[in-house]
Copies of this chain bind each other. A is one copy, B any other.
Amino acid sequence: MKAIVTVRLKPGVLDPQGKAIGHALEGLGFVGIEDVRVGKVIELELSETDEHKARDAAEKMARRLLANTVIEDFVITLR
């Protein structure tokens, strides 16, 4: 089963990478960009076939390593 962990900065946390991308896009002539925020998508191919167990394992992995839960939120999607 595939577990997709999407990690984003919490609202209100400054996103320097997003700011840099925004400036770069404007430098390339793009207009109308009000804000840019960047996150990560981590796709975990798991041998687990039970949905609950897979979600539980992915959550533990996210809390332990994939997300810095002080400044980041994460969402888990299963496929």
Size category, A interface: 20 to 34
Instruction: List B contacts of A37 (CB < 8 A).
Output: 42-43
Which residues from B are CB-within-8-Å of A48?
A: 32
Q: Mark A6-37, 1 if CB is under 8 A from B, else 0.
A: 10100000000010010011001010111111
Query: What is the minimal beta-carbon distance from A8 to any residue of chain B, in angstroms?
Result: 7
B40 with A57: CB separation less than 8 A: no
* Docked complex Cα distance between A66 and B37 (Å): 12
Closest residue of B by beta carbon distance from A28 = B64
A41–B42 CB distance below 8 A: no
Judged by a CB distance under 8 angstroms, whether A71 is at the interface is no
Residues of B within 8 A of A35 (CB): 43-45
